[in-house]
Structure 1
Amino acid sequence: MIGLKFSLLSIVSLLTVVIEASSDDDTVYCNSTIGACPDDKPCCSQYGVCGSGVYCLGGCNPRYSYNLSACMPMPICKDSQTVFNNYSSQVKNQYTYLGDAEANDWIYEGTIADYDDENALLLTMPQYSDGAVLSSTRYMWYGKVSARMKSSHLGGVVTAFIMFSSVQDEIDYEFIGDNLTNVQTNYYFEGDLNWTHSSNISTSDTFDNYHVYEIDWKEDHLDWIVDGKIGRTLYKNHTYNSSTGQYDYPQTPARVQLSIWPGGLNTSSYWTKLWAGGEINWTAPDIEDPGYYYATVQSVNITCYDPPSGTKQNGSRAYRYVNSKNFTQAGVAITNDTTVMGSLDDSGFNPENGKSSSSSSSSSSTSSRSFTTQSRASKSSSKGSSETSAQSGQTTGTSSSSQQTGFVQNMKSTSASAGGSSSSSGGAGSLDINANGLMHAFVVIAGAVLALV
């Protein structure tokens, strides 16, 4: 198994060459293999694609952007309590969001719906779709976050509740639809592929019952807590990497993200479907009524902790990476830089137009860049009194991201990354890799080998 890890790196490098050679569009990729973005598309998105606008906001990876100034500063943590009662109209479409965290606490991609019977928000996955993602607009740099929620269910359907940073530090809860009495926990450091970190916490049925899942993230240790009981603890001093001389511990500002996604597509590898609980049944009763698979989120509470001692502070508005050679917590500063752009053509280089009206700028620039949204009434059913959908206008079919292991956060086919190590466990491209336990290693290796033969 150890030997396979090294051979995988060669496979990914070869596939990178193949994809680059066959690409017939103007998509520019960014990762450790290809390098950083050019100045005309300066921002490396969470999914390893270069661009401006939304690419420069949540998840913009400073490591592979044109330089440290390309990504917009990250809105600083603020204590909050969100009850998702009749809340869908207050969630901003990801493709029209310009960085104003004062006006928008949450953004979404995919389809969401209010569930009046339980005063909750549904993250929905209609037939043959890629599901939905709900993301906080503010980042948390150590703190406690809790979600009162119910997972989805049935084989091939995956629900997730995670913390995810711009340099791909990650803290996970994942729920597999055919294993409703266990929740998987995991963590990653800077997107490093390590499949030995996964561990389960036992609980009662996660689809039928609300549970409170907490992440208590401190500088020296991390607790996963279910219904007030600590299920797992990770100590930072246990993550020391003698090869690099650093601690492989999540330590950079991260967003809260919740999602539902299809792990069991018929196009997924055997191992992916095995991990996800089998192939999805797209004609299951849920698809008939209410018309989709769904996860239910009732509330999210965020409590911010103080930043690490010694943090450089020149303000109180935003986090920013300030050291191109160090993307650990030591390379993060707190500033008064604006987090708002004026239009979807902007980046961290020219954010001053963000002082104008976000709504008017969003409307005009969205049209010019072919990003579209739609709102529609849901099927008549007991779940989802209203339903709202947000997709990129660039979508051209099923996203390759839905074939990956881990938390899938991207819905756009244009996000497919051409190899490299900038990928997240829930990232986007068909070669973006990371894992949840030893099974995920099989998933990635098997998929890569099959692609070559």
Structure 2
Amino acid sequence: MSSSRFTALLFALVAALAVLTLSTSAQETCSATSKCGEAAPCCSSYGYCGSSTTHCLGSCDPTSSFSPSSCKPMPKCKPQTISFENNAKPWVAAASYRGDPDQAPFTLDEGVVEPSKSGTKMILTKKGAAQRGTLLSTTRYWYYGQASAVMKHGSWAGVVNTFIGMSATKDEIDFEYTTSSDQDVETNYYWTGQAEGYTHGYSVPSSVLNSVSKPSRFSVKDWHTYTIDWSPNRLRWIIDGTVVRTLYRKNTLHSKDGLYHYPSSPMRLQLSIWGAGDGTFPKGTVEWAGGLIDWSKATNGRFVNMVKSVTISCNDPDDVKNDRPNYAFSAKKVNPLNGQPKVLATSRSSIMS
């Protein structure tokens, strides 16, 4: 797999999901070196200050907000299996979400989902409500453990399907499926969103994929269980029970800053379909996705991936294993291993009035 395709990934995802924000024309921008002011204290994941649910929930960036505590606390992980079968609707529109995870297991952040007997259809269209694709995000955060998605994807040039974990500090763990090859399964990770030469991406070889599916040939068009097994010291990507990649934290120690460049902050799990080849992205992104989208191959004008279920197990670190219901980033303490604000357990409410 060429590095240029991975080079495009992080920026393509940010661009594709930026449409989820409110109009930013009058909003102050924010970054780690230019934090939000007290009047609009929360920095959204897209780099704008405000005080709405768009800014202070979800992926509110604690390192760029007025204070890490400006972001609302993050509901703790809860072991659960979320079924999308039998026309289930385990989501709430993001605009209606106020920070209470009991509203639904997922928010629909963008696009169109259609329930069906065999699972939820996530949709991408050339025009209309799904023009920028579809994104579902968990309302509870995941802080080590296992997360599995049973899903399938049709394999079209320019169309990307993902199952990822994404934290407020832009730690990230990915499964990605793209190009017209039905054996294009890519894994990736990021620490605080840093590109680091785009050396973290890895395409699972066809020989490994086919060994997973013996005696049948592997295809992402079939139902498979994709699992992320994440602990403080080890990260594994697993397909149908077979480990296809392993990363150890000890191997991510950075020589210049002495920090482990290893994903280690609470994440929301996200499922998405989006059009990297829709003609609005740079050349590198289009190449990474396998070319421009051929809309003549869209059945009834739609590309669809399907999700049958998501299963989550939790393995909170000992220092947050208590009866306090939420995680929060400390305003004063820093985790010496990763350089990020320390994650604490808190009784402060995650709900916005």
TM-score by length of 2: 0.83
Q: Is the 1:314–1:336 Cα contact (8 Å) retained in structure 2?
A: no
Aligned match of 2:62: 62
Match of 2:256 among 234, 239, 243: 243
Aligned match of 2:42: 43
Deviations 1:124-167 (A, max 9, x none): 11224100001110001101000000024210000010011110
Deviations 1:268-319 (A, max 9, x none): 2222111111001233242x2xx41111000100000131x4x267742000
Counting only pairs closer than 5 Å after superposition, residues 227-376 of structure 1 correspond to structure 2 as 227-286=240-299, 288=300, 291-307=301-317, 309=318, 311=319, 315-324=323-332, 326=334, 328=338, 331-342=342-353
Q: Is the 2:148–2:312 Cα contact (8 Å) retained in structure 1?
A: yes
- Alpha-carbon deviation of 1:335? 1.2
Local SS of the residue matching 2:192: coil
Task: Write the distance in 1 (CA, Å) between the matches of 2:321 and 2:183.
Answer: 44
Q: Which amino acid aligns with 2:303?
A: Y
Task: Write the distance in 1 (CA, Å) between the matches of 2:48 and 2:87.
Answer: 31
Q: Is the 1:236–1:249 Cα contact (8 Å) retained in structure 2?
A: yes
> Relative to structure 1, is the Cα distance of residues 231 and 96 closer, same or farther in structure 2, using a 3 angstrom cutoff?
same
Local SS of the residue matching 1:140: coil
Alignment length (residue pairs) = 312
Which has the higher mean CA deviation after the structures are superposed, 143-152 or 317-326? 317-326
Q: Which amino acid aligns with 1:74?
A: M
- Alpha-carbon deviation of 1:77? 0.5
> Relative to structure 1, is the Cα distance of residues 292 and 48 closer, same or farther in structure 2, using a 3 angstrom cutoff?
same
- Alpha-carbon deviation of 1:28? 1.7
Q: Which amino acid aligns with 1:320?
A: A
> Relative to structure 1, is the Cα distance of residues 156 and 241 closer, same or farther in structure 2, using a 3 angstrom cutoff?
same
Match of 2:199 among 191, 196, 211: 196
Counting only pairs closer than 5 Å after superposition, residues 19-38 of structure 1 correspond to structure 2 as 25-32=25-32, 35-38=34-37
- Alpha-carbon deviation of 1:324? 4.9
How high is the sequence identity, in percent, across the aligned residues? 37
Task: Write the distance in 2 (CA, Å) between the matches of 1:206 and 1:235.
Answer: 28
In the alignment, structure 1 residue 214 sits paired with structure 2 residue 219: no
Q: Is the 1:152–1:260 Cα contact (8 Å) retained in structure 2?
A: no
Deviations 1:346-376 (A, max 9, x none): xxxxxxxxxxxxxxxxxxxxxxxxxxxxxxx
Q: Is the 2:333–2:341 Cα contact (8 Å) retained in structure 1?
A: no
Q: Which amino acid aligns with 2:139?
A: T
> Relative to structure 1, is the Cα distance of residues 199 and 48 closer, same or farther in structure 2, using a 3 angstrom cutoff?
same
Which has the higher mean CA deviation after the structures are superposed, 201-210 or 254-263? 201-210
Q: Looking at CA atoms only, which structure, 1 or 2, has the larger radius of gyration?
A: 1
- Alpha-carbon deviation of 1:330? 6.8
Unmatched 5+ stretches in structure 1: 1-22, 343-453
Q: Which amino acid aligns with 1:340?
A: I
Aligned match of 1:113: 114
Q: Which amino acid aligns with 2:348?
A: D
Deviations 1:62-92 (A, max 9, x none): 1101112211000000100011024554310
TM-score by length of 1: 0.66
Unmatched 5+ stretches in structure 2: 1-22, 210-216
> Relative to structure 1, is the Cα distance of residues 197 and 298 closer, same or farther in structure 2, using a 3 angstrom cutoff?
same
Task: Write the distance in 1 (CA, Å) between the matches of 2:59 and 2:24.
Answer: 26
Task: Write the distance in 2 (CA, Å) between the matches of 1:144 and 1:221.
Answer: 12
> Relative to structure 1, is the Cα distance of residues 87 and 330 closer, same or farther in structure 2, using a 3 angstrom cutoff?
farther
Q: Is the 1:63–1:324 Cα contact (8 Å) retained in structure 2?
A: no
